Amino acid sequence: MDETLAVDLRQITKQFGTTLANDHVNFQVRKGEIHALLGENGAGKSTVMCMLSGVYRPTSGEILLNGAVARIHSPKDAVKLGVGMVFQNFRLVPSLTAAENIVLGETHQVWRTKAWMARKTAEIEALATRFGLPFNAGRQVWQLSVGEQQRVEIVKTLYRGAELIILDEPTSVLTPGEADQLFVTLQQLRSEGKTVILTTHKLKEVMAVADRISVMRKGKMLATLDRSATDEREVARLMVGQDRQEPRPRKARLKGPTLLDMRNLVVIGDHGRHALEDFHMTIHEGEIVGIAGVAGNGQKELAEVLAGLRMWKSGTITFRDTKWKGASVRHSIESGISHVPENRMKSGLAGSLGSVDNLLVKSYRTPARSKMGFLRHAENRLWSQGLVEQFDVKTAHLDAPVHHMSGGNQQKLLFAREIHQRPHLMVAVHPSQGLDVGATDGVHNLLMTLRDEGKSVLLISEDLDELLLLSDRIVVLFGGRVMGEVTHDAADREHLGMMMAGVV
Amino acid sequence: MNQRGKFRLEIDPSGKESPWWVTVLAVVLAFGLVAVFIAATGKNPGAVYAKMLGGAFGTEFGLTETLVKAIPLMLCGLGVSLAYRIQVWNIGAEGQFVAGALAATAVTIYLPGLPFWIALPLMLTVGMLAGAVWGLFTALPKVLFNVNELIISLMLNYVALLALDFFVFGPWRDPAGMNFPGTRPFTAEESLPVLGATRLHFGLILGLLAVALAAAFVKTTRWGYELRLIGANPEAARHAGINIRGHIVVVMLLSGGLAGIAGMAEVSGVTHRLLYGISPGYGYTAIIVAWIARLNPFGIVVSAVLFGGLIVGGYSVQTLGLPSSISSLLQGSVLFFLIAGSILGKVRVRWN
Ligand SMILES: Nc1ncnc2c1ncn2[C@@H]1O[C@H](COP(=O)(O)OP(=O)(O)OP(=O)(O)O)[C@@H](O)[C@H]1O
Ligand SMILES: [Mg+2]
């Protein structure tokens, strides 16, 4: 019995139907360390975490917490044993305040008087300040940014007395600045003796924050390494089983004719304020234009206008020499604009439907997919099977609901749907979100191929590395206006950062 | 291994659909609960249930009566299930049913003496249209002003029922009917054909046809695909350029139209006149029928027959001195346990 281990998984196996998600996994986490769990999409990382937090129960094997066999039969048991989990899609009630969300489920207090709530709010705020997790506890959750909501989730686990904090892909929804702040918090947690397990697909982050690293592949645990004794390259090779794909060499660009021209655009956002103000942008055929900017500076609205989801107030949009009259999703789809939305499960995919139905979303009206109002059932299955194989989407079978797929595989399915028709313009918002290194390289190469074929991409991302790697030009948005524009060769990280902050 | 470790319960948070056994369990629990009430009256629940079963399915008369009751349940249940597919909570099948019955009867009142080959198709068409219009009254405020369809469709039930009262007590009352609130009897030309000497009428074929068509369309057409997508994730449907409001209007027209056909079939096939209280709540029972079947068209055929049997069985226990409202009690309990089950349905039973 080893008292220094916060977590000790012994021969854990988890089976979903015919899928072996975890195959005799041994996994040890020491007390007071930050432990990164890595692996390709579908390797079984989320499954391990869900078993620790009582969402799933292992098919076989033993879980030991702090040296003792633990019976974790429900999330409640996990909380009692001091395990707290922050899921990727947060589980907060939007209409309640942050403080109310945190005390939710506290059963020993029936009467929630004002005084009691005030006391609790103070307690929560003290806890939040101690760990450097600032948010306004009296605000309703829907008014908080994604980063703040994540802090609420973390404070919630601490408030419930968690000693082990599990975070599933915490940085995939954060801006780089917010991610840095999260790492400071994690270090603070460690210094107070808490244990942290997290997953991420960004190796840089792992190297920056983790003490030890465990790598999984295809449901099996491969190795646990000390951060100080390894490097990015070794970890990547372990994860993928081979060296990384070489990035596609950037071909010289032939500047094509104008594809999209937006002038004097004014767009009203959800809360009635101007999201885009006097916005100008031109995209030529055969180029990748990156949009850099801190989230909430009009990127979302820009993507929605192009996808036909949002009307603009004034200004003109000309696409392939045709002036747009109004916003229409069907018109956008039919004129060859595809859209990878920022939140795949909210607006991209229908979780309870299978792969075929989800792949059909954009193309079911085309003659290849349906005839005289009837879907071509057999052809569509064959076509879906082809896409699933081509894009390496791992799913138990074509009819399995997509919410059973791992996060990265959902993203691959969505990306496959949007790119396979060779759109004239692909509006991609965080296209590699949740993808492992290999799949990210794959997505990057596909976008470059699209560009080399003379098609165009509007790449909206908060990941400067991705923008710098792919974009022919980067346009910086600040407060709904264009702050500036740089070409691929002249792009300079520092200068971009200043523009994103609205300084230059 | 511990003693109680044979069975274990597991929560599957991703499970959006409750497993099939929840439905079965809900029915079993409902019968169990009502058994307590029967026992409280001093009767043997087993004997009462046996009597119900025999009354509903044991004889040719019982069986055809059960099917007669199943027809409106099937049509109305199919109608509401279409609306529920896209999360439109139409509880107005009762009113749409009555609207169909009223319109079909209007043909017999204002255009008497038509030959059957004109009268019946005409009655069917106007019955369906009236139900559809009644459905439209629910759809339009919803899509134009975002008014909650639960409230409108419920209110419209009362409007339709009061209109029914007005006509059967007023202008359409049969002068030869000794003050009985009902219209004159339909002629043979205005009545749907029946099977032999039974009361089982042509409406059964209409119902089965509607089910088959609906199932085929939902599965194979683009329209059905759009319904599936809206039902699974309306936001994704919006991103696909699907006109959700248009679908709500069309589905409510269909939903109401199917209930309207049921109303027409009831007056023309069973009662052969319009009566006060023409529906013993078919439109409401249809809601349970649709949920028991989990909105599956063929499941609706099965659950409609089961609930038809419940109604007929309820009548047959009257000879034992129990009120027929026992079947309402059973229906209510089934619905109660179904709703509870959809929450508990996230729990999975695992065999170690
Ligand atoms: N509820 C479920 N039902 C069926 N299969 C599931 C379920 N949850 C996960 N799986 C399967 O188990 C495997 C592992 O999934 P898991 O979510 O643990 O992967 P992951 O390592 O978190 O991947 P990603 O990086 O893409 O998030 C996948 O093949 C997935 O399809
Ligand atoms: Mg995962």
- Does residue A406 line the site of ligand 1, with CB under 6 A? yes
Q: What pLDDT, on the 0 to 100 scale, is given for residue B7?
A: 52
Q: Look at residue B265 and tell me whether its pLDDT is greater than 70.
A: yes
CA A345 to centroid of ligand 2, rounded, Å: 13
Q: In what order do the strands lie in the sheet with A274-284?
A: A274-284, A258-268, A314-319, A322-323
User: pLDDT-based confidence at B6, cuts 50/70/90?
Assistant: very low
Summarize the confidence of residues B171-190 as an average pLDDT.
Answer: 90
CA distance B119 to A150: 67
Q: Look at residue B14 and tell me whether its pLDDT is greater than 50.
A: no
What is the value of ipTM here, to two decimals? Answer: 0.85
Query: Who wins on pLDDT, B161 or A439?
Result: B161
Which site among A62, A345, A364 would you substitute to test the B interface, given the most B Cβ atoms closer than 10 Å to its Cβ? Answer: A364
CA distance A87 to B14: 13
Phi first, then psi: what are they for A315, rounded to 5°?
105, 175
Give me the amino acid identity at B337.
F
Report which protein residue has its CA nearest ligand 1's atom 19.
A42
Q: Look at residue B166 and tell me whether its pLDDT is greater than 80.
A: yes
The one-digit pLDDT tens for each residue of chain A (504 residues) are: 556 899 999 999 999 988 899 999 999 999 999 999 999 999 999 999 999 999 999 999 999 999 899 989 888 899 999 999 998 777 788 888 888 888 887 766 666 677 888 888 888 988 888 888 888 888 888 888 788 888 999 999 999 999 999 999 998 878 788 888 899 999 999 999 999 999 999 888 889 999 999 999 999 999 999 999 988 888 888 887 766 666 677 777 777 899 999 999 999 988 788 899 999 999 999 999 999 988 788 898 999 999 999 999 999 999 999 999 999 999 999 999 999 998 888 899 999 999 999 999 999 999 999 999 999 999 999 999 999 999 999 999 999 999 999 989 999 999 999 999 899 999 999 998 888 888 898 899 999 999 999 999 999 988 888 999 999 999 999 989 999 999 988 888 888 888 888 887
User: pLDDT-based confidence at B8, cuts 50/70/90?
Assistant: very low
Angle (nearest 5°) at CA A336 between A409 and B239: 55
Per-residue pLDDT tens for B278-315? 999 999 999 999 998 989 999 999 999 999 999 999 88
Percent of chain B with pLDDT strictly greater than 90: 74
Q: What pLDDT, on the 0 to 100 scale, is given for residue A130?
A: 86
* Cβ atoms of residues A276 and A296 within 8 Å: no
* C-alpha distances in Å from residue A170, one per residue of A85, A211, B271: 11, 17, 66
Q: Which chain A residues are within 8 Å of B342, Cβ to Cβ?
A: none
Summarize the confidence of residues B157-175 as an average pLDDT.
Answer: 94
Interface A-B: count of C-beta contacts within 8 A = 83
Q: Which residues contact B70 (CB under 8 A, 6 or more apart)?
A: B204, B207, B301, B304, B305, B307, B308, B309
Per-residue pLDDT tens for B85-117? 999 999 999 999 999 999 999 999 999 999 999
**Topology of the domain comprising A5-240:** Rossmann fold (3.40.50)
What is the overall mean pLDDT for chain B?
90
Interchain proximity A73–B240, CB inside 8 Å:
no
| Closest listed residue to residue B248, CA positions, set B126, B342, B155, B152 | B152
CA distance A266 to A128: 39
CA distance B168 to B225: 43
Q: Look at residue B145 and tell me whether its pLDDT is greater than 90.
A: yes
Phi first, then psi: what are they for A397, rounded to 5°?
-160, 170
Q: Does domain A246-336+423-504 have CATH number 1.10.10.10?
A: no
Query: Position of tokens 């885009």?
Result: A276
Distance from CA of A187 to the nearest CA of B (A): 31
Q: Which chain B residues are within 8 Å of A328, Cβ to Cβ?
A: 241
Residues 215-274 of B with CB under 8 A from A: 220-223, 225, 228-229, 232-233, 235-241
Of A339, A350, A365, the CB nearest to B222: A365
Give me the amino acid identity at A242.
Q
Q: What pLDDT, on the 0 to 100 scale, is given for residue A427?
A: 97
* Cβ atoms of residues A434 and A196 within 8 Å: no
User: pLDDT-based confidence at B240, cuts 50/70/90?
Assistant: very high
Residues of chain A with CATH 3.40.50.300: 5-240, 246-336+423-504
Where are any strands of DSSP class E within A168-273? 195-199, 212-217, 220-226, 258-268
Q: Which domains does chain B have, with CATH numbers?
A: 44-321 (1.10.3470)
| Closest listed residue to residue A315, CA positions, set A303, A327, A307 | A327
